[in-house]
Structure 1
Amino acid sequence: MNSFSTDVVVVGSGSAGISACFELYQKHVPFVLLEKGNKVGGAGKFGAHGVFAINSTEQKKRHVNYGYREAFNGLTDYNHFFVNGELLARFLKKSGANIDRLAEMGLPVTVEQSEQKAHLNDPLVYHKFNNFKEKMTNWDKLPDKFTAAGNKVMLETAAVDLEYDNGLKAVIAKNKAGAEIRIAAKKVIFADGGYCGSQEMMTANFSDTKALLNLGERKSTGTGIRLTHKLGADCRHRPVLFAHGGAPSMSINPMKRDSAVETLTNLPLLWLDQTANRFVNEDVVYDFAMWGNAAHNVNGIYYVLLDQKTLDTFKQKEVNLEDTFERQFCDVGQTPRTTVGPLPNIQTDFDEAVKTGEVVKADTLEEIAQKLQLPYSSLTRSVNAYNQAVKQKEDDTFLKPAAELLFDVQEGPFYAIIEHCAILGTLDGVNVDRNCQPVKEDGTPLKDLYIVGNNVNGLYSDGYPSYEGIANGFAFVSGWIAAEEAIKSLNQGEK
């Protein structure tokens, strides 16, 4: 077995891992970065558009009246006090300074109004990456800085085990060729992003796993969670899904932006669950987290139902509805479009989706019910009630705004987009202390181990909250905290 030694091993190069490495690099502490993929980065690099923060320099200049008190109380209340208060406090108090660190890393952000229509009047807490492509490029430059300083960055190499005896002895890794590597180390920071890539762990925790559309990092297979749990770490917590909107499939999803089917997915049309009943005010589409949670709540699948007249209207006209993902793909300062259409390719896109099974088409509602295995009586009742709401411009059940009650469902052919709850990952794993050290059931920390980002419990009780960018912000800050604490412990050991 190939072997060498270092002070700290960092597992994973997403937001939490790259942040930890940056702190170690700045403080001249030797480290090895292990990354499963063939390039650095995780969900924070490839998907996230910004981070949450309070009391940043730019916020202070703009006199943003939302600080620690408001954020701490808001998140504590949201989680019904099922929260790691000390860790939440430490994250929030460092979140503003993290904005300056991001600029030092080559990942500058600008405080900007939310990317979500539902939060346009929220306080200015969202900091968006100035340029998404430049963020990707600059992220890729960081490993060269690390290696130039004498550290190792090992791609296509995964941590598989620990040698541990009242303290860390070594991290055992395995490369793409299957060769094992022993890395003698004093500390290890697990920043490997949760477990959405582990079918076994997902199935054990979420009954609708098969229905979920995983837009997250499939290389996140729960390594840190499993290895620390094996050493006695307390993993008792309700599973928390990082639900984030909905989409028909991997080929028709919000990241591609090339199908009119996806566009209509992002609008408050008529939604039905697997019992053919409405289940939510479809206006929830304008809040990514709550939209995903609503879909997760109906076992991960629902249907967007519309008729040919609606399709033709979008083909020919500009409709006064906003595509919920429009703002996410605007660069800083760019003005979003608040209408949809005309969509000249909509019929072609829907016809193609019918062929692939992402959309079901039928001449009658009875046929739609048969094809989707829905109770026909419930389907007709739901459609009739919705049509009445559109006619009267009043939704007395789910309270959808009158301005969004635009399209009834009257005459065939009818179309049903099959929607899946989309996820970006998981948000539970290991209970930790304020220093991001995993703790045993009696609360004592496991020496020399740190676990961060989407691997930890304590920030969310049961679902991702509507604090845009908070998961990514916490990932960067928790990686920073863990590295600081590892360095502090190393220095104390030297004295």
Structure 2
Amino acid sequence: MALSGLAAGTLAGCGKGYTAQEPNNPRVGDFGVPSWLGEAPVIEESLITETVETEVLVVGVGTGGIPAMISAAENGARVLGIDRQNSPRNVREDIGAVDSRLQQASFEEFPQFRIDKTNIVQEIATYANGFVNYDLVKLWANESGAMIDWLTDIIQRDGKMVMEFEGGVGNVDEPGIRKAFATGHSPQPTELADEEWGFAESILAYAAEQGAEVRWRTEFIKCEQDESGRVTGVIARAVDDDRHYLRINASKGVILSTGGYGNNLEMMEDRQPWNQKLRIAAPGSGGNPTGSGIKAAMWLGATIDPIGAAVTFNRACVKPDQTAGDGVLGRWFWFGEQPFLKLNLKGERFCNESGPYDYMLHAAYMQPHHTYVDIWDANHAEQAEMMDEVGCCRLFPFDNGARNNIPMAVVDGMIEKLIEDGYVQKADTMEELAQKLNLPVEATVASWQRYNEFATNGEDTDYWKEPHRLLPLTTPPFYGVRTGAWFLATIDGVSIDTNMHPTDADGNPIQGLYLTGNDSGGFFSVSYPNLMTGLACGRTMTFGRRAGMLAATGQA
């Protein structure tokens, strides 16, 4: 049933946020706007030495941009994508949707996987504390299933990939703080795929098969408009060679999908300083999102969400003499999302460890140095399976047999490497572990003993953790590590309507321009609903597909 009415990607932007010279207010620049925004750069005509003509231009060839390119090309447009990278970076592979063919085929055997659209839309709005455009959330609920079916047909066309539905909602008798929804879909390679072939390669190759072209190493500078205010194209710049400027005219429309602003530290400090204090810089793949798409739309008069938001996972760690915070270099810690015992730096338990990823991190923000410690024991693999996690952190196959992202055996190898490099600590007693982690020994041992008493009794009278995840930690060796936030992406952005147009302060659309992915807003705020696996990616791809169709056909 359709409801009535109507986030990663790869960066294609350039530079750092503009900073006004010695503003009176550090958050307000010389132009009366946030100092990271500034004014659109003025590029002299004499510096523009190349002109390119196309019909639909997609800025950012990633999670949202590639579906937009495919959709526009399938609908008959001449399509060009540009990106400052030389290949797609970090195209997301957990894709959230409702009522795909794969989901519907599972309902007879697994009725608990069925999703009520009204319920999930309301749940998304609740996570955001109401700071959503309900019509956008309904649009995702109504169109995401068809988007997955479309992608499934694309990636399975040559037998090298298969789409799997990640069927799992955890323990339905003890659901915990928030309900989980079986939304996740994951493209997986078959035996016909070589090591170089994956989801990004498959969909980008299909875009080329449809006639779409890509111009790599080309960075986006700003949009251009005609006298009526319609966006007619962009000014871009070659990353390599002579760094010349070029004008790209797009007669049917420009789609921005540049990936948010996670690497623009000025925007981060202004929009969401709390996440900067939780953040640990863990090396990984991805683009370099600097907010170029958001700023470009705002230069045209578009508005932005009132509150910054991000996808943050408790998957980063530091050494025992370090604490979380922007500028701190740590390591990726995939095991961190398992809800084992977690203590603050005073050796005290402070919340229910089981729940949405950023709930744990938000609770940690309220603790000293915004850092906590994960503790587990020799039985961690068996216990992780009993905990029955869902989504990308699941370490075992899903209920319906679908493959999980990373197997437990691989995670154990990661842990061993972290021990070797001085991050994870290992000890035969809890006293020794506390000393190695620079925690107060007496308080740590007391918290551990109390937790084990709760596990033995099957009831957590301090923080009400569900019994199937309240498991004793009594078998040495014991392990521990200091943990903080691994930052995936910003998910607040420019206000858009259901035609993917950015809107101004009066709610009027900016014609000729479309936004998708983490450049667009109105969908997330405060907290990311990670118990709806792949929601950010599903929104991005659903809206990218829609933007491509609308731009190519001129329907809106």
- TM bracket (short chain): 0.7 to 0.9
The separation in 2 between residues aligned to 1:182 and 1:280, in whole angstroms, is 54
Match of 2:117 among 50, 65, 68: 68
Secondary structure of the residue aligned to 1:15 is coil
User: Is 2:515 the counterpart of 1:451?
Assistant: yes
User: Is 2:397 the counterpart of 1:397?
Assistant: no
Tell me, which stretches of 5 or more residues in structure 2 are unaligned?
Answer: 1-48, 157-161, 319-329
User: Is 2:356 the counterpart of 1:304?
Assistant: no
Residue of structure 1 in register with 2:35 after alignment: none
Match of 1:128 among 180, 185, 191: 185
Query: In angstroms, what is the RMSD of aligned CA positions?
Result: 4.1
Deviations 1:138-162 (A, max 9, x none): 5324444544555420123221222
The separation in 1 between residues aligned to 2:150 and 2:383, in whole angstroms, is 43
Match of 2:485 among 415, 418, 421: 421
Deviations 1:409-456 (A, max 9, x none): 799x97531112223211101111121211122222222211112222
The separation in 2 between residues aligned to 1:462 and 1:24, in whole angstroms, is 33
The separation in 1 between residues aligned to 2:74 and 2:485, in whole angstroms, is 40
The answer as to whether partners of 2:375 and 2:479 remain within 8 angstroms in 1 is yes
Alignment of 1:6-155 (within 5 A): 6-44=54-92, 48-54=93-99, 56=101, 59=104, 62=107, 65-106=114-155, 109-114=163-168, 125-132=182-189, 137=198, 139-147=200-208, 150-155=211-216
The separation in 2 between residues aligned to 1:163 and 1:319, in whole angstroms, is 53
The separation in 1 between residues aligned to 2:213 and 2:475, in whole angstroms, is 63
The separation in 2 between residues aligned to 1:344 and 1:97, in whole angstroms, is 34
Aligned AA (1:193): G
Deviations 1:210-243 (A, max 9, x none): 6335557342222211211222211142111112
The separation in 2 between residues aligned to 1:123 and 1:321, in whole angstroms, is 16
Report percent identity of matched pairs: 24
Aligned AA (2:292): T
User: Is 2:286 the counterpart of 1:217?
Assistant: yes
The answer as to whether partners of 2:234 and 2:247 remain within 8 angstroms in 1 is yes
The separation in 2 between residues aligned to 1:276 and 1:3, in whole angstroms, is 62
Residue of structure 1 in register with 2:12 after alignment: none
Give the drift of 1:467: 1.6
The 1:410–1:16 alpha-carbon spacing in structure 2 relative to 1, beyond 3 Å, is closer
The answer as to whether partners of 1:216 and 1:423 remain within 8 angstroms in 2 is no
The 1:100–1:318 alpha-carbon spacing in structure 2 relative to 1, beyond 3 Å, is closer
Residue of structure 1 in register with 2:535 after alignment: 470
Aligned AA (2:153): E
Q: Which moved more, 1:382-391 or 1:75-84?
A: 382-391
Q: TM-score, normalization: structure 2? A: 0.71
Residue of structure 1 in register with 2:225 after alignment: 164
Give the drift of 1:462: 1.1
The separation in 2 between residues aligned to 1:171 and 1:276, in whole angstroms, is 55
The separation in 2 between residues aligned to 1:14 and 1:329, in whole angstroms, is 28
The answer as to whether partners of 1:146 and 1:153 remain within 8 angstroms in 2 is no
Give the drift of 1:102: 1.0
User: Is 2:301 the counterpart of 1:253?
Assistant: no
The separation in 2 between residues aligned to 1:345 and 1:141, in whole angstroms, is 27
The separation in 1 between residues aligned to 2:484 and 2:180, in whole angstroms, is 31
User: Is 2:244 the counterpart of 1:173?
Assistant: no
The separation in 2 between residues aligned to 1:397 and 1:54, in whole angstroms, is 39
Aligned AA (1:33): G
The answer as to whether partners of 1:13 and 1:191 remain within 8 angstroms in 2 is yes
User: Is 2:339 the counterpart of 1:278?
Assistant: no
Secondary structure of the residue aligned to 1:7 is strand
The separation in 1 between residues aligned to 2:433 and 2:103, in whole angstroms, is 53
The 1:267–1:453 alpha-carbon spacing in structure 2 relative to 1, beyond 3 Å, is closer
The answer as to whether partners of 1:173 and 1:182 remain within 8 angstroms in 2 is yes
Match of 1:461 among 525, 530, 553: 525
Aligned AA (1:181): L
Give the drift of 1:471: 1.2
Tell me, which stretches of 5 or more residues in structure 1 are unaligned?
Answer: 255-261
Q: Which has the higher helix share?
A: 1
Secondary structure of the residue aligned to 1:99 is helix
Alignment of 1:188-227 (within 5 A): 188-204=254-270, 205-209=272-276, 211-213=279-281, 217-227=286-296
Secondary structure of the residue aligned to 1:282 is coil
The separation in 2 between residues aligned to 1:138 and 1:483, in whole angstroms, is 19
Residue of structure 1 in register with 2:247 after alignment: 182
Q: Which moved more, 1:199-208 or 1:437-446?
A: 199-208
The 1:354–1:473 alpha-carbon spacing in structure 2 relative to 1, beyond 3 Å, is closer
User: Is 2:298 the counterpart of 1:229?
Assistant: yes
Deviations 1:293-319 (A, max 9, x none): 55566575311236xxx44x669x998
Secondary structure of the residue aligned to 2:354 is helix
Give the drift of 1:2: 2.2
Q: TM-score, normalization: structure 1? A: 0.78
The answer as to whether partners of 2:342 and 2:349 remain within 8 angstroms in 1 is yes
The 1:176–1:162 alpha-carbon spacing in structure 2 relative to 1, beyond 3 Å, is same
Q: Tell me how many residue pairs correspond in the alignment.
A: 467
Give the drift of 1:190: 1.0
The answer as to whether partners of 2:316 and 2:331 remain within 8 angstroms in 1 is no
Residue of structure 2 in register with 1:257 after alignment: none
Residue of structure 1 in register with 2:4 after alignment: none
Secondary structure of the residue aligned to 1:435 is coil
The separation in 2 between residues aligned to 1:370 and 1:318, in whole angstroms, is 25
Q: Which moved more, 1:88-97 or 1:361-370?
A: 361-370
The 1:441–1:92 alpha-carbon spacing in structure 2 relative to 1, beyond 3 Å, is same
Residue of structure 1 in register with 2:547 after alignment: 482
The 1:328–1:3 alpha-carbon spacing in structure 2 relative to 1, beyond 3 Å, is farther
The answer as to whether partners of 2:132 and 2:525 remain within 8 angstroms in 1 is yes
Q: Which moved more, 1:424-433 or 1:184-193?
A: 184-193
The separation in 2 between residues aligned to 1:30 and 1:360, in whole angstroms, is 56
The separation in 1 between residues aligned to 2:411 and 2:59, in whole angstroms, is 45
The separation in 2 between residues aligned to 1:376 and 1:74, in whole angstroms, is 41
Give the drift of 1:24: 0.8
